Amino acid sequence: MKILVTGGLGFIGHNLVNNLNKQGHQVSIIDNATDYGVCDSREIESLISQRLATIPENVTIYRADINNYSDFCSIFNNNYYDAVIHLASFPRQKTVSLNPALAARTMIEGTINLLHAANNNAGKFLFVSSSMVYGDFSGSVNEESPCNPKGQYGVLKLAGENLVKDWSRESNIPYTIVRPSAVYGPRDINDRLVPKFLQTAHNGETLSVNGEDESIDFTYIDDLVSGISLAATDSNADNETFNITRGSARTIYDAAKLAVGIAGRGEIKVNNRDNRYPSRGTLDISKSQNLLGYHPQNNIEYGFEKTYYWLLSQ
């Protein structure tokens, strides 16, 4: 298949590109290597350099901004893609809160630009959303559970889902929506929860846990890109939404203890939960297992160790 990945130089994106390339697909990337207007530009540049080093020479890379239609419309005018995988986005609530205007433009206007360009130039459109669209939940949620996002990031992701569905209805081009959760692994920015815990523990400092019983469905990057690849290439995924996660939540306190254990140092301080963020748990992945044959392989113990030793190499 000929596949275009937007945000293909991002954390999830470059891993997905390599996964698809190994399967023999012809892969192209659109990415503008943004620092979102809030991240350390030197760290982003270093990460982009490391990610580029992993990407094979047969992958075509277009440096373009999805916020500017003229930047990339010629890419679609000159190519037909069997699947477009849309990952270009602000990565989490913190970056959205720090730069909400640019976040809204990227996650709404950028998505609309891509959908417009994909008309008659794509066989399928896969939108990578987020588990944050569910908002607060306890126990487990499936794809039919109500979506009541809490925070601008979740609100914008849910809006993106609805834009994609409406575009598919009008264009008759199939869509797929994927909802990941707490993705982590090597070559990610250091201020996300898992690398932050591991780095703080390595430094012998105090890890702050906001809510001892708060839990998250931590998902190792290799499992997520395996699931996205299945969803992008299997017709069983057409016009469907899937949770693609580990499918087994762990408390944030457990994650902190694991980080301290791996590093062999550090302390943990438990605070009250942060009401700005939703309470979450396990995402039910039975639909992706049954329809796509998705089976995550990497538990949190393995994933944290792999991430920690990558951090040490930095």
Q: What token pair was written down for 33? A: 């290597």
| Total-model pTM | 0.96
Q: What token pair was written down for 14? A: 């470059």
Kindly list the domain boundaries of the chain, sorted by start residue: 2-185+220-247+282-297
Across the chain, what does the average pLDDT equal? 95
CB 151 within 8 A of CB 278: yes
pLDDT tens for each residue of 252-307: 999 999 999 999 999 999 999 988 889 999 999 999 999 999 999 999 999 999 99
Residue 5: the pLDDT is: 98
Band of the pLDDT at 198, cuts 50, 70, 90? Answer: very high
Judged on CB neighbours under 10 Å (0-12, 13-18, 19+), 283 is: buried
Q: What token pair was written down for 192? A: 């996300």
User: Which stretches of the chain are assigned E, i.e. beta strand?
Assistant: 2-6, 26-31, 60-63, 83-86, 125-128, 140-141, 175-179, 183-184, 206-210, 215-216, 219-220, 240-243, 250-251, 267-271, 282-283
The CATH code of the domain at 2-185+220-247+282-297 is: 3.40.50.720
Residue reference for tokens 């939108």? 127
Strand partners, 86: 6, 127
**Taking Cα atoms as reference points, which of 127, 182, 176, 167 lies closest to residue 292?**
176
Instruction: Say which residues have a Cβ less than 8 Å from residue 313's Cβ, sequence separation at least 6.
Output: none
Element of type H or E holding 305: helix 300-313
pLDDT tens for each residue of 44-55: 999 999 999 999
Rounded Cα distance between 75 and 79, Å, is 6
